[in-house]
Each structure stands twice: as C-alpha cells, then as structure tokens.
Chains A and B, each alone.
Chain A
C-alpha cells in the first residue's frame, strides 16, 4: 500500500494554477524530497495532501483512505510547517509548544499532564533544547525554533512525517539534528516527505525525488531525476548549476 497517493491534482488560486495535474505515489517506509524553485507549489502540494487546502480537482489517499475521510489523523500524520507561517509572538513557551504534539492523542477535554510533560522534556533533551524549555518561543534563534517544532512532530509518533523546508536558514547544529532525526525515523520504517530546495548534501538520503514547477517535471530516484535537462526544465535560467 502507498502511504500517499496523489492523482490528477490541480490547485488554482484565483484561476491561476499553483499545481497542475500532479500524479505520484509514495510507498510506505520511503523518504521522498519535493524540490523546485520558489513559488513552484511545494508548500501547496504538502498542504493539499494534508487537507489544509480544499482539493476540488484530483484525489488524494493516505494509507489507502481518501484524505478527508481519514480518522485518528494524529496517528498517521505529523507535520512540521514552514517556520515563516508561525506567529512567534504568541504567548506560549517552548515546552507547551512541544506538548501540543500530544493534543491529538489526548482527545477532547483532557489536559496535558505529567506524562506529556515527560515526553516533551525527553524530546527537548534529544534535540539539545532542554535548557530552553521555559523560554518564550519568540526568544529563540531560527535554528532553535526549528528544533522545537521537530520535537513537537517527534513526540507525536505518527506514521508519515511531512516537513516543509526544514533546512531553510538553519545553523549547522540544527541541520545535523534534523538529519539524525530523519535517519532515525527511516530506520523505524516511517514514511518521510520533505520539502527542500537544498539538495547538494542531502541527495544520498532520499529514495525518491519529486521535482515540480507547477507541473510535475520528474519523479524517481535521485539519479533519474537530477539530470541537467530536468533541472533546466524546473529552474530555467534561475539556478547556477554546480561548477566544480
């Protein structure tokens, strides 16, 4: 069974397509990168899979179930949003944000307790953030913020992990922590879908790469996808190709 199956997906914003006729399948337990230039529709693709954007054209299945009919979503899906989409002035601290990863498991009315606090604290330790547990979330550097959201996704213990731009503008420690987490998730047979525009150092980790620019340019193993023609098709003249 595929973890995620996208068929004939098109998304329009005010009659202008952000995605056009996208088809692909992500087998369970694989790690997939979605790459493409800015504005290519990568976040839009992730959000439509997660049912955060209404899908009018096309079908999306998660674990064989249409995504809008999926029950107990928190068991299947963990999502790390793009950092720029978060309101860092919100009155809350690091440990509270991490504990939110368990809110789905708690169900209505139940408040997070000792168990959730412990899970959150362990996750923070794992990502080197234990000493910041009571900081206001706005008072962290970009990389530290990122690690808080990694911890939040981590304690959810879902089957499929969606990460939007986890390598955008972070320090090398955060990059390392993120990579370690991806490896650990993969060893535990989780499915991982990562949006990124930085692939040079990472291509060895991914089983498949989805290259898009509104339309699907290519989907396949890294060596199949990362050809000069494909990159030219996706990035046009925008990207400087490696000159070693």
Chain B
C-alpha cells in the first residue's frame, strides 16, 4: 500500500492510502478532501486541480508536463516551480510517501 501526504490550505498535513492507476487528483477527491474543485473532471481544461509537490520519494519520477499542462499552469497567479496539475499524474507505487499541497484558489 502506498501513501500520499496532503497539505490542505489550512496548512495541516493528512496522510492516506493512494490507489494506483488513479490520478493524484482522483486520489485526493476520493479520500474526501473537498478543496480541489477539479471542475473539468480531469481532462486538462481547467487548472482547478493545481497542487505543489513538496517532496518526491528518491528515485521516483514524475511524468514530464505536457505543453498544454505547462501553459495552463502559466495562467495561475500561484504557480511555483513545483506546481503541477494533479489530474495529469497517475499515482503509482514508486510515489509512496509523496508529499503534495493544494495550491490556493485562483
């Protein structure tokens, strides 16, 4: 079982089991956190699933962002170097222990 640590907007850190094959957005949503709007349902049209990667387990690789993802992120006032759209990243065993934070709402 692989875990995800999630920092919600109030700064608190929560830990839950991730489901492999589902995106990080779906994992956050399915764990009952409601801060992520993810309005387009994960089809890379909205950027309301914006998260920061605070730490990635050693040896794990995140898929490189597509051009579309990078351009959508560019539109956020809160973009940082560790910004990603969580619907674009499938969760997998190698990401066990990952720490992500929900970005502020644009």
A binds B: no
Instruction: List B residues at the A interface (Cβ < 8 Å).
Output: none
